[in-house]
Structure 1
Amino acid sequence: MSFKTSTMRAGALSAAALLVLTACGDNGDENGEEPDDANGAAEENGDADAGEDNGAEDDADAGGGGEALTISLFGEEPYSWIDEETGEPTGATIAVAEEIFGERMGYDVQIEEEPNWDNLIPGLGAGHWDVVSAGMSINSDRCAEAAFGEPELVYTTAFLVEEGNPAGVETFEDLLDADLDVVALSGAVESGWMNDVGVDHDTVDSAADGVDFVEGGRADVFALTAISLEAMAGDIDGLEVTDSFAHELSVGAHAFRLDEQDLVDEFNEHLAELMDSGEYLDLVSEFGFTEDEMPPSGLTAQELCEEDPEELTEQYLDD
């Protein structure tokens, strides 16, 4: 196993760091008028400013201008986790977050780990962090509590089982008739899907715990995204990751507070640039993602929030 969920969370930073951005743009009085000396300084320096490259000014106006932005990750390879050897955050979604928020938007990106998946969105709403970078799938329940950036990565599901898959389980429906102890990540889409299908199962707080349960014999099956299981447990002796399957269209993205639509919009602009140029795939391919995991053309976060999942699955996966 590549990592264990750690207790190395930095203290949750105040969301006030992000809110400062809206205040910093107003240099005048309450009526929006600039002080006379500010106008004079602007006129005096106007010619010199006009002749300079305005790239830095554009960055400051459009993005963070060096303000702190706190991002929460969750320990699940290959999306986002803390590297045990270096102690540094890493993963596909972290690479994207650092590129967009740090390099392109100019924020001072500060990253901390939340070891419990169920705490990610509540912590976001409470202002403990400004963004969740964990490959979180977009669905209507989550959209009621968080705003999502546009789709980034499509996920399929797999099971971690005993080598040879003696029970022959390949889909959630197979688990209905199997006398097996099944676990899923608490709050994850796999747990919700099994509830819908009627599969009796328990939940764990972290992806690492799920792997440990199967490896230690406390569970027969751990359901999770296929690419995560391959990254975390694909080389464990005596265990096997089943072939992946798509129970329902599942697409991950960055999550934001509901009242930060301006931040979402600007993030989406840069994300679209990365997608269109191919740079997005370059960033995430280092962590095992391929063209197959890129979202279907035309799919939007709004569709995933508002439309029927079965209809979206038929539209984008079954064609």
Structure 2
Amino acid sequence: MKQKTHSARAMGALSATALLALTACGNGDGGNEGDGDGEELTIALFGEEPYSWIDEESGEPTGATIAVAEEIFENRLGYDITIEEEPDWDNLIPGLTAGHWDVVSAGMSITGERCAEAAFGDPELLYTTAFLVEEGNPHGVEDFEDLQEAGLDVVALSGAVESGWMEEEGIDHDTVGSADDGIEFVEGGRADVFALTAASLEAMAGDIDGLEVTDSFEHELSIGAHAFLPEDEDLVEEFNAELAELMESGEYLELVEEFGFSEDEMPPSGLTAQELCEEDPDELAEEYIED
């Protein structure tokens, strides 16, 4: 829990120092079993491939954002991390602000609304949108404009950017609590369309018989990043410094390639989390995407 881990840094550092002194006096070897400073950090994931999920066979957390989190927080910064699954997307930021975890590693898009409650690390992944539909796409829907007059049963992940965009566009739709639910709605005939990031739909439903993932499209500039508490400025700075090194060296791309990401999903050069939090999405898209 947040109150017992990251927020108690000063006390933890003092205790570690005292423990080292006692160990040196007690057995003479001066050893320290922990890596780095050994400070505890709790990270939340959400079950959505290819970003972050629990592998059914191993029971271990995996995914592109988890690989990045483990590399930065554990391997490079020396934190003792615990990764917990939050099954409800809408609970990720409330759980963060309530102190249940220190970081959200779920490929969460940076939006002005979310920035009012959480701080975001530097941009990591560029997202496009797609629809999960019946094989053959019988209604011919390829973007949100096609949905406006189609009169179809549409679902989106509750709290996700796709739901927000459809609200702005006046598209009637229902929401589901998980990506698996959205897929099951279309597979079972309870919905005609499930809107989600293209990467997720390809990873989770691209091979399901009778279903089809449409070609991806860009509605607004959607960029994923790790989320933090606003007051954890030092932690964000630590993370961003290591992230910048990974990006510059090409190691970041190597980490996420395993999960299907490529150079095409790397964020535009020079784009910042602050811009995504504060500036008009249409203007940002025009500046960084619509050349």
Q: CA deviation at 1:20?
A: 2.1
- Alignment partner of 1:157 out of 95, 111, 129: 129
Q: CA deviation at 1:94?
A: 0.1
Amino acid at match of 1:237: D
- Extract structure 1 runs of 4+ deviating beyond 2 A: 13-16, 22-27
Q: CA deviation at 1:308?
A: 0.5
1:135 aligns with 2:107: yes
Q: CA deviation at 1:24?
A: 4.1
Q: CA deviation at 1:312?
A: 0.2
CA contact (8 A) 1:249 1:309 kept: yes
Amino acid at match of 1:19: S
CA deviations 1:123-169 (Å, max 9, x no partner) are 00000000000000001000000000000000000000000001100
Distance between the aligned counterparts of 1:154 and 1:22, measured in 2?
36
Name the residue aligned to 1:233.
205
The 3-state SS of whatever aligns with 2:268 is: coil
The 3-state SS of whatever aligns with 1:156 is: strand
Distance between the aligned counterparts of 1:147 and 1:105, measured in 2?
19
Distance between the aligned counterparts of 2:211 and 2:247, measured in 1?
36
Match runs of 1:201-220 below 5 Å: 201-220=173-192
The 3-state SS of whatever aligns with 1:15 is: helix
CA contact (8 A) 1:15 1:130 kept: no
Amino acid at match of 1:20: A
- Alignment partner of 1:66 out of 38, 44, 49: 38
Q: CA deviation at 1:22?
A: 3.0
Distance between the aligned counterparts of 1:153 and 1:107, measured in 2?
24
Q: CA deviation at 1:179?
A: 1.8
CA contact (8 A) 2:2 2:99 kept: yes
Q: CA deviation at 1:72?
A: 0.3
Amino acid at match of 1:115: P
Q: CA deviation at 1:16?
A: 2.4
CA contact (8 A) 2:12 2:39 kept: no
Q: CA deviation at 1:68?
A: 1.2
Distance between the aligned counterparts of 2:131 and 2:280, measured in 1?
26
Q: CA deviation at 1:15?
A: 3.4
Distance between the aligned counterparts of 2:3 and 2:127, measured in 1?
30
The 3-state SS of whatever aligns with 1:243 is: coil
Gaps of 5+ in 1: 1-12, 28-37, 42-55
CA deviations 1:74-94 (Å, max 9, x no partner) are 000000000011110000000
Report sequence identity in percent: 76
- Alignment partner of 1:303 out of 275, 278, 281: 275
Name the residue aligned to 1:252.
224
Name the residue aligned to 2:29.
none
Name the residue aligned to 2:28.
none
Amino acid at match of 1:118: D
The 3-state SS of whatever aligns with 1:227 is: helix
Please give the TM-score of this superposition, normalised by the length of structure 1.
0.84
Amino acid at match of 1:187: G
Distance between the aligned counterparts of 2:3 and 2:181, measured in 1?
30
Match runs of 1:146-225 below 5 Å: 146-225=118-197
Match runs of 1:19-34 below 5 Å: 19-25=7-13
1:291 aligns with 2:263: yes
Amino acid at match of 2:53: W
Larger Rg: 1
Gaps of 5+ in 2: 16-20, 25-31
Distance between the aligned counterparts of 2:157 and 2:145, measured in 1?
18
Name the residue aligned to 1:90.
62
Name the residue aligned to 1:125.
97
Name the residue aligned to 1:5.
none
Q: CA deviation at 1:222?
A: 0.1
Amino acid at match of 1:72: A
